[in-house]
Structure 1
Amino acid sequence: MPRTRAGFTLAVIAAASLTGCGVGGAGTGSSQQTVASDAPLKGAITFQTWSLKNDKFTPYFTALIKDFETQHPGTTVNWVDQPGDGYADKVSSQVTSDSLPDVINLPQDIAHSVAKVGGLLDLSKNVPTLAQDYVHSGVAAYTYPDLGGDGFAFPWYLGTDVSFWNKAMLQRDGLDPAKLPKTFDELVAQAKVMHDASGGKDYLMSRPPGLSDIVNSGTPLMTPDGKKFDFSSAPAAAMLDKYTAAYAAGYLPSNVLTSTYEGNSALFTKQEVAWTTGGGNYIQSTTQSNPTLAPQIVPSPALDTPPLYVQGISVAAKSKNLPLALAFGRFVTDDANQKAFIKLAPGFLPGSAASANDPAYSKSDGTAQGDASVIAYQDMQKAVIFTPPVWTDAMNTFLNQQVALAMTGKESAKQALDNAVSRANQLLGQ
């Protein structure tokens, strides 16, 4: 079940945005409607998931739907599952043809595009306890300042990053595994110690900066109304200057800015670098794939602010059976059903607030893996999605190019960020 920084699903990744698929423009306002809380539940609805129909999850959804229909006689839930590839295009087609399913699994970026044209019900207008029933970070992920809504999906399954360290490498180079970095500045300081002690053979840092580093400098990526990019700040430039200095001093692999760079995780697996990030079950999965490395791994909270990855359950604003759709959306994402689903998906976390009372997320069994699971749940509470829903691959490519120019001394950090902001806004306007 792969995962990326741009968004995730249990079986496939898709970072495409509907904004680029012909769905855009001002909202219609239909998402602001209110559903009668005492309306009878009857009739049929369609429920759509994303690449979850398989031997592992089909029995779960079959039982889930049967349970709901049994509790509400006279109702029918028709489950459809879309393949992973081309999901954004499929949803775009459903929107334009007025065939969007009543209840639909959407990642944050695609949900934004559908909500932008009035396609999703604003749950904050219909679920008074939304903020209390679901984890704050998950609700915030589907709150879009440019649209004015406070929740366009029930947070369903979530992920975040935990820091993982190679204890043997740390000790070999004079670093204490009990005093791990908590901030970017502490990371740079310890990277110098490792570099100097190993004669430049070992690395603690092994990735160039990106959007997450800009946000962690205290810089908002967009204007408060969410309509323009504006991240060329003095703190962001100072952060980039620190990366530039670290790169020049040899604290990062020399090829980190080139096409031959294998990636942070691959280098950690090879035990060429001593720090990486991953989901809460990283140690467990490494035990199976790399049993000699696993015993050396020590977990700690993500540096500064952790990233959030989230999938949600939205309700179509134009559903012909809104009371039933809303009730089923809440049922799918209630605490009991979320935790049952997560048991089938190691490494992911439930979006229900009540899950905090589950010992699986609140108390370690004393192992490194147990510690990592608890750390991941704690990280999730304060995690944020660094990538705005309108951020595109083209914007990211240009930012990476500007970062490389700055880190190799061809541009100042401020100029590189100015250029990235200008280009991002140009692309946004298109």
Structure 2
Amino acid sequence: MRISRRAFAAAAVLATVLPLSACSSDSDSGSSDASGKVEGKITFQTWNLQANFKDYFNGVIADFQKKYPGTEVKWVDRPAEGYADKISADAAGGTLPDVVNVSPDLVAPLAKAGLALDLDKAAADYRKEYLPGAWQSHQIPGMQGTYAFPWYLNTGPLFYNKRLFSDAGLDAAKPPRTYDEVFADGLAMARKSNGKIATFANVPTIEDFGRYGVESMNKSGDGFAFNDAKGVELLTKYKELYDAKALDPQALTATPESAGHKFLTESVSMNPGSALDLANFKKQAPTLYKNIGITDQITSTGKANMYVMGVMVNSKTKQKPAAVAFAHFVTDATRQMEFAKKVAIFPSTAGSLDDPYFTKEDGTDETRVRIAAAKSLKTAVNYTPVLFSEQMKTALRNEVAKALQGKQSPKEALDNAVKACDQLLKQS
């Protein structure tokens, strides 16, 4: 099941395979009018959900059909592998389902091709039901409109090692919350430990630039802008961490798994995670577990990063009222709360995160993490641009590595990264 990360490499296929003939303007992309009687047969496609949630979705479909007599929903589920290729083939062949489970990076090329219904026009009354940041996550730079209902969300708090903070003479009860604070604490910890304890085991990603307050794209949405003065400032700070060994030397090639291992062995003081990690710490590293602190994501904007899934309506559907009604039904507050209690995700509907399920402690690790994550999601945003592909992530990472190694300045690195990403954007 696709839960914790929204982007994957095959998504780039969708942008490149859609033929020019599929592109259309607002004038020929089908009417945005979704009024009328909710009736007829529609097809609903999900992304690797049937194996674990067959009964749940069959129940949702049955409830919808009961609410709207005369409707029929056919559910199809596609495996995670090749999902973007399947959507691409359907889009090119005119067989795209009426309602489709998408992530923001998948909906972007469909919206540009005129195949995603603009919900700001077709379903504007529903907008207030969702968290603002979640609704905005399926908006496309350079285009007017919102092209999918926000569905389930995910994020993660930050774990930190209280003992390592105390050993460095830092207040373990007051972990850093902004980048300025984490840079100061990281340098202090590296000095105190003679470079043996790093703060992070990861290089900065596009999400870090967003959390630092950098605008990732220009206003027109046709180019990237993370090489501005603020972006250069962030990378310069990371270079200082790297030089002081406050950033793990292996961060240049680290994976989430290897970074997690560094935290597990107490050579790194901070790492993002989940309740599953807490259970692992308790079993494999009881000393670490006793000293675990849980805090919010590091951000200088006051808003955490969210990952989001969505439900898109095919603008070419012949049953627009039914398709819009069903997409809303699947993502309304009632259905999202039911789903959130079956799997570790969070609802995107306004007010749902105030439910006791997300606010009331019961002493368990799972609940501790769930409450911390839910709190941050109320104001979270998706800092990864919907047009930022896996190839672009690799380009940024490569240039960041060169800057940290001193092979080029932070400014040169980000200029080169932006140039490479802009070229990839033009090719899509």
Give deviations 1:297-322, integer Å, cap 9, x for gaps: 22111111422111111111111111
Give deviations 1:292-345, integer Å, cap 9, x for gaps: 244432211111142211111111111111111111111111111111111111
Answer whether contact 2:116 2:312 (CA < 8 A) is retained. Answer: yes
| Residue aligned with 1:121, SS | coil
Which amino acid in 2 is paired with 1:286? N
- From 160, 163, 173, the equivalent of 2:168 is 173
Give deviations 1:188-242, integer Å, cap 9, x for gaps: 1111222222232222222111212322332211111211112211111111111
1:422 lines up with 2:416 in the alignment: no
- How many angstroms apart in 2 are the aligned matches of 1:275 and 1:114? 38
Which amino acid in 2 is paired with 1:93? A
Q: Report the counterpart of residue 386 of structure 1 in structure 2.
A: 383
1:406 lines up with 2:400 in the alignment: no
- From 230, 236, 240, the equivalent of 1:235 is 230
Q: Report the counterpart of residue 316 of structure 1 in structure 2.
A: 314
Which amino acid in 2 is paired with 1:216? R
Residue 144 of structure 1 deviates from its aligned partner by: 1.4
- How many angstroms apart in 1 are the aligned matches of 2:360 and 2:151? 22
When structure 1 is superposed on structure 2, of 207-216 and 13-22 the one drifting more is 13-22
1:286 lines up with 2:280 in the alignment: yes
Q: Report the counterpart of residue 299 of structure 1 in structure 2.
A: 294
Give deviations 1:319-375, integer Å, cap 9, x for gaps: 1111111111111111111111111112x1011113133112234446665443222
- How many angstroms apart in 1 are the aligned matches of 2:210 and 2:76? 38
Residue 32 of structure 1 deviates from its aligned partner by: 6.8
Residue 427 of structure 1 deviates from its aligned partner by: 1.9
Give deviations 1:65-116, integer Å, cap 9, x for gaps: 1111122222111100011101111001111111111111001100111111
Answer 1 or 2: which has greater helix percent: 2
Which amino acid in 2 is paired with 1:34? S
- How many angstroms apart in 1 are the aligned matches of 2:376 and 2:186? 23
- How many angstroms apart in 1 are the aligned matches of 2:414 and 2:167? 38
1:69 lines up with 2:61 in the alignment: no
Which amino acid in 2 is paired with 1:325? A
Residue 43 of structure 1 deviates from its aligned partner by: 1.8
When structure 1 is superposed on structure 2, of 140-149 and 17-26 the one drifting more is 17-26
Answer whether contact 1:108 1:312 (CA < 8 A) is retained. Answer: yes
Q: Report the counterpart of residue 28 of structure 1 in structure 2.
A: 25
- Give the 3 Å change call, closer, same or farther, for CA 77–108 of structure 1 in structure 2: same
- How many angstroms apart in 2 are the aligned matches of 1:394 and 1:306? 24
Which amino acid in 2 is paired with 1:167? K
Q: Report the counterpart of residue 346 of structure 2 in structure 1.
A: 349
1:122 lines up with 2:118 in the alignment: yes
Residue 137 of structure 1 deviates from its aligned partner by: 1.3
Answer whether contact 1:18 1:88 (CA < 8 A) is retained. Answer: yes
With the length of structure 1 as denominator, give the TM-score of the two structures. Answer: 0.91
- How many angstroms apart in 2 are the aligned matches of 1:256 and 1:234? 24
Q: Report the counterpart of residue 209 of structure 2 in structure 1.
A: 214
Residue 269 of structure 1 deviates from its aligned partner by: 2.4
- How many angstroms apart in 1 are the aligned matches of 2:34 and 2:400? 51
| Residue aligned with 1:79, SS | strand
Aligned length: 421
Q: How does 1:139-178 map to 2 (within 5 A)?
A: 139-149=135-145, 151-178=146-173
Q: Report the counterpart of residue 375 of structure 1 in structure 2.
A: 372
- How many angstroms apart in 2 are the aligned matches of 1:332 and 1:262? 33
Which amino acid in 2 is paired with 1:72? Y
| Residue aligned with 2:416, SS | helix
| Residue aligned with 2:406, SS | coil
- Give the 3 Å change call, closer, same or farther, for CA 354–6 of structure 1 in structure 2: closer
Unmatched 5+ stretches in structure 2: none
Answer whether contact 1:297 1:368 (CA < 8 A) is retained. Answer: no
Which amino acid in 1 is paired with 2:381? V
Residue 419 of structure 1 deviates from its aligned partner by: 1.1
When structure 1 is superposed on structure 2, of 79-88 and 300-309 the one drifting more is 300-309
Which amino acid in 2 is paired with 1:342? A
Which amino acid in 2 is paired with 1:428? L
